[in-house]
Amino acid sequence: MANGSDHSRSILRLLIGEGLAAAGLVYARLHPYADPLWNLNFFYNALFFLLAYPILYVYRWTMAEGCLAAVLWPVSFVLSWGLGVSCYLWIAYLLLLGNSPYFYAMKLHYVPLGVLFAFIYFPLIQPILGVGPKYQTLGGLLGLFLYSALGGFFGYETGWFLSRRFPAIQTEHSHWLLLWLGLTFLGTAIGAQVAPKRNS
């Protein structure tokens, strides 16, 4: 698998992530969501990401080994899972901006979708952000993204097939969206898990 050394980590990836989060923060502030609670969730989520992402990035870059790493491991553990929740909220926010009905599935069924999302976040999103245990070069990321996208596509198409084959299951709209989005997440997670084995 195409892994780079910790010393080859690019500061550009950090700057891009922080820039996008800052843009999202400004947009959320200027264009508030109608639901006050979720509006605050998105706003404070952007703030959390802006603070937590560089801390975890620098930790992975400079303190991934040695005694100091062992001492600070609980902090990195909390930040790592916290960024996972943050990324889930970012995806929900992007779906909201796109007027996608899947936003409501992520909003109402966050427990089962959150569990599935964890299997996407750690093998796929963490390497993209550059905060995984092993740093992925651009070549490694392209292969990882390709397999994940193919898995997500097949998951989505499976949901489309089921909607045509069993139209009765669409009677409960919220549950149907949960199933379709869950299949897409599952396919993406499988693709992200397969990619490292294929590239090794």
| pLDDT tens column, 43-99 | 999 999 999 999 999 888 887 666 767 777 888 899 999 999 999 999 999 999 999
> How far is the C-alpha of 151 from the C-alpha of 157, rounded, in Å?
10
Tokens 């993209």 correspond to what residue?
128
Q: What distance, in Å, lies between the first and last C-alpha atoms of the chain?
A: 4
The structure tokens listed for 54 are: 């560089």
**Least confident window among 58-72, 92-106, 107-121, 142-156:** 58-72
> How far is the C-alpha of 50 from the C-alpha of 18, rounded, in Å?
6
What's the pTM value of the predicted model, to 2 decimals? 0.84
Higher pLDDT among residues 137 and 182, named by residue: 182
> How far is the C-alpha of 120 from the C-alpha of 3, rounded, in Å?
19
